[in-house]
Amino acid sequence: MALARLAQSARPPGAGGDAGGGLEWFCVPPSRAPGEDPGSDPGDHAGPLVHSSPAALRPVSAPFRAGEVCLLVDGRGRHHLIDLEAGSTFHYHVGTLPHADIIGADEGTAFRSSGDGRLVALRPRLADYILRMRRGAQVVYPKDIGPILHWGDIGAGMVVLEAGTGSGALTLALWRAVGPTGRVVSVEARPDHAAGARAAIARFVGDIPPNLDLRLGRVEEAVEEVRPDRLVLDLPEPWEVVGPAAAGLKGGGVLTAYLPTVPQVQRLHEELRRSRCFLDAGTFEVLLREWVVEGRSVRPASQMVGHTGFITVARRAETPEPVIHLPEGS
C-alpha cells in the first residue's frame, strides 16, 4: 500500500545531526513576545521577525482560497497534493481541472475534470501532508508521531524544545499539540534542512505561527535558556544533550528521543543512567499493519510498515543511584 511504500523508502531518522555554530534566529525570538517590535538593542539576536495574524493561518471548514494546499482524491482513490493558485490548472491522466473552480468552493466538493474524471477537494490532514510533503531531511512518520506526542506527554500550554527540526513534520505536530497558549522552539544544525522545514511549515499552515521559534544552531546552547517542559530529540547523538537536559529541563519534564539503531539506543540509556537525573527510561518501536476490508473479505494488507525508529522516553528527576528501567510485570 502507499503508506507502506512511503515509509520503507525513508532514510534512517537522526541522519541530520545537530552540530554547528551558535544560535541564529530565523523566526520569532522567545526573548520577546510574538509580534513585538525587535527594537534596537544591540544585544538582540539579528534576524527577521515574522508577523502572523490568525487570518493568515490555515483555515478550518471554510471555502478554499488561493495559496492553500489542497488534496484532490480521484475516482480510484489516489491522492494529489496541489497548491491552489489563480490561473493554474491541475493535470492528471483523466484531463484537467482549473484551480479557479476549486477556489471559493467548500471543502468536500466534487468536481469533474475535462475528461469526466471525478475529483473531490479536501484540506489535507497533517498525516496526509506528511506522507506527501517535499522530501529533504528525514521525515518522522505519523505512526511514530502519535506515540511521541502521547508518551512524550506533549500538551496544551507547554514549552517544548525540539532538535533537530529536520523536515518539519514532527515540528508541525508538536506545534498543534501545544495549542495557542504553548510554545515550540525547534533547533536545526543544517541551514538547508532549516530552510526546507520553514517552507514546509509555511506551506501547510499558511505562515510561520507566532508561537513557533525556528532556530539555526546547537540545541545544547538552547536548553538552559528555554527551560522547556518537554524535550524532543531527533539527533544521531542525543546522549550529548543529556547533560544540558539535566540542567535545563524542568523537574518532572519528559525527554523523548527518536533513534534508528540499537547501538544509539544503548548509548543513550547508558548516559541517562550515568547522569542520575532521569527516571523511568524506556524504549519501544511501533509496527503498523493496515487491513483491507472489501465486503465480506477482510484480510491484512500484503505490506506493513515495519521498523522506522526507536522511541526512548525518560522523566527528569533527581535519583541517588543510577536507575535501570524494568518493564511492567518483571
Q: Tell which residue, 229, 250, 141, has the closest CA to residue 185.
A: 229
The more confident residue out of 78 and 40 is 78
Q: What is the pLDDT of residue 327?
A: 54
pLDDT band at 136 (very low <50, low <70, confident <90, very high): confident
Give long-range contacts, CB 8 A cutoff, 24+ apart: 3-6: 3/131, 3/288, 3/290, 3/305, 4/290, 4/301, 4/303, 4/304, 4/305, 5/303, 6/131, 6/141
Give bridge partners of residue 279 from the DSSP assignment.
315
Concatenating the DSSP letter of every residue in 186-244 gives: EEES-HHHHHHHHHHHHHHHSS--TTEEEEES-GGGTHHHH--SEEEE--S-GGGGHHH
Cα 109 from Cα 118, distance rounded (Å): 10
Q: What is the pLDDT of residue 8?
A: 41
Give the dihedral sign, CA 173/174/178/182. negative
Q: Tell which residue, 250, 228, 168, 161, has the closest CA to residue 201.
A: 168
CA angle 138, 187, 280 (to 5 degrees): 80
**What number of helices (H) and strands (E) belong to the chain?**
9, 16
Percent of the chain with pLDDT over 90: 73
| Residue bearing cell 510561520 | 208
39 pLDDT above the threshold of 50: no
- What is the pTM assigned to this prediction? 0.79
Q: Are 127 and 77 in contact (CB under 8 A)?
A: no
Residue 249 DSSP code: S
Least confident residue range of 3-12, 131-140, 293-302: 3-12
The more confident residue out of 8 and 235 is 235
**What is the third-level CATH fold of 2-15+128-316?**
Rossmann fold (3.40.50)
Mean pLDDT of 243-248: 94
pLDDT band at 59 (very low <50, low <70, confident <90, very high): confident
Strand-pair category, 297-300 with 291-294: antiparallel
Task: Enter the C-alpha cell of residue 6.
Answer: 512511503
Residues 6+ apart with CB under 8 A from 210: 28, 34, 35, 50, 51, 52
The more confident residue out of 7 and 25 is 7
Strand-pair category, 212-216 with 183-188: parallel
Q: Are 65 and 206 in contact (CB under 8 A)?
A: no
CA dihedral 240, 244, 245, 246 (to 10 degrees): 110
46 pLDDT above the threshold of 90: no
93 pLDDT above the threshold of 90: yes
Q: What is the pLDDT of residue 137?
A: 83
Give bridge partners of residue 300 from the DSSP assignment.
291
Give the dihedral sign, CA 274/275/279/283. negative
Residue boundaries of the structural domains of the chain: 2-15+128-316, 69-122
31 pLDDT above the threshold of 70: no
**What is the third-level CATH fold of 69-122?**
Vcp-like ATPase; Chain A, domain 2 (3.10.330)
Tens of pLDDT, residue by residue over 277-310, are: 999 999 999 999 999 999 999 999 999 888 999 9
Tens of pLDDT, residue by residue over 66-83, are: 999 999 999 999 999 999
Mean pLDDT of 5-31: 37
